[in-house]
């Protein structure tokens, strides 16, 4: 079994990632750069990057470049249920408190997830959802202005952000990652938990056919709430 040229390039880029020289969201050499560096055609270099894309190691954006993926996320296909529906399905009352609904200058992680430059303005909402007056979800959403220009004019006590977004920009894909975090001071205040209590953090990127629509951070009190996922064959 001989080693092919595109496998050499693939291994090279992969080793850069594994050695820590390239970290999550860092830019990966372009097809042309790799082609020249390894003296191969662009199509061969492209095949190496496509292979890394299929493996989930990098993400690629036309016109911008290739970037190291969020390597902590492992691929799978859990199905996350809608919280408002869950509450009402149990016969409980669902309510929300809007703490903030304003413009916001994206930076750091948020900007990178939305593929924006540092400081670009997005719409921002900070809402807590209640199940029978007990806080069960703290939702922070960063919405692209051009995709949803009327976002700030909505009353999210009447309709959830998710329902509104689903109507305005038909969803094409939803990518979520689930992790656990210790509650910080803000979370303690919003969710009425004890300091350092374990909470679920769901980070979600929603896309329509026109591209990214919003990035959301959903925080649940870990002990008070469970995400369900079931699948039958």
Partner DNA sequence: AAATCCAAGTTGTATATACAACACAATTTA
Partner DNA sequence: TAAATTGTGTTGTATATACAACTTGGATTT
Beta bridge mates, 27: 67
Cβ pair 129, 95 in contact under 8 A: yes
Per CB under 7 A, which of residues 161..220 are in contact with DNA? none
Stretch that binds its own copies, among 31-39, 49-57, 114-122, 141-149 (CB under 8 A): 49-57
Q: Which residue in the set 11, 15, 37, 41 belongs to the binding site for DNA (CB under 7 A)?
A: 41
| Phi (first) and psi of residue 140, to 5 degrees | -120, 125
11 counts as binding DNA under rule CB under 7 A: no
Q: What span, in angstroms and rounded, lies between the C-alpha atoms of 70 and 88?
A: 34
Write the DSSP string, 25-71: TPEEPPHHHHHHHTT--HHHHHHHHHHHHHTTSEEEETTTEEEE--T
- Is the Cα torsion angle 157, 162, 165, 166 positive or negative in sign? negative
Output 121 or 229, the one with its CB closest to its own copies.
Answer: 229
From DNA, its own copies, none, interface partner of 46 (C-beta below 5 to 8 A by class):
DNA
63 counts as binding its own copies under rule CB under 8 A: no
Output 65 or 211, the one with its CB closest to its own copies.
Answer: 211
Per CB under 8 A, which of residues 158..197 are in contact with its own copies? 171-182, 196-197
Q: Which residues, in sequence order, are CB contacts of 182 under 8 Å at separation 6+?
A: 196, 197, 198, 199
Stretch that binds DNA, among 62-70, 80-88, 93-101, 201-209 (CB under 7 A): 62-70
Output 158 or 209, the one with its CB closest to its own copies.
Answer: 209
| Closest distance of CB 198 from its own copies, Å | 4
From its own copies, DNA, none, interface partner of 229 (C-beta below 5 to 8 A by class):
its own copies
Q: Which residue in the set 24, 50, 176, 217 belongs to the binding site for DNA (CB under 7 A)?
A: 50
Output 5 or 92, the one with its CB closest to DNA.
Answer: 5
Interacting residues with DNA (CB under 7 A): 1-2, 4-7, 28, 30-33, 39-44, 46-47, 49-50, 60-66, 115, 117
């Amino acid at each position: 079994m001989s080693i092919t040229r595109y496998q050499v390039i693939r291994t090279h880029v992969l080793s850069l990632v594994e050695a820590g020289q390239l970290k999550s969201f860092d830019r990966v050499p372009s097809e042309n750069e790799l082609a020249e560096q390894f003296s191969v055609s662009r199509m061969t270099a492209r095949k190496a990057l496509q292979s890394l894309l299929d493996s989930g190691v990098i993400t690629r954006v036309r016109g911008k470049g290739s970037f190291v993926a969020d390597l902590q996320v492992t691929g799978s296909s859990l199905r996350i249920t809608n919280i408002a529906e869950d509450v009402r399905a149990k016969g409980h009352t669902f309510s929300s408190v809007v703490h903030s609904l304003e413009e916001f200058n994206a930076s750091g992680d948020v900007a990178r997830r939305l593929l924006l430059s540092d400081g670009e303005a997005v719409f921002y909402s900070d809402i807590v959802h209640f199940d029978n007056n007990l806080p069960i979800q703290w939702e922070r959403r960063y919405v692209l202005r051009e995709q949803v220009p009327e976002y700030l004019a909505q009353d999210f006590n009447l309709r959830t952000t998710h329902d509104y977004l689903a109507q305005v920009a038909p969803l094409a894909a939803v990518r979520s990652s689930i992790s656990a975090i210790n509650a910080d001071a803000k979370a303690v205040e919003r969710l009425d938990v004890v300091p350092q209590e374990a909470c679920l953090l769901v980070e979600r990127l929603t896309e329509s056919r026109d591209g990214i629509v919003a990035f959301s951070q959903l925080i649940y009190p870990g002990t008070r709430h469970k995400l369900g996922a079931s699948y039958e064959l």
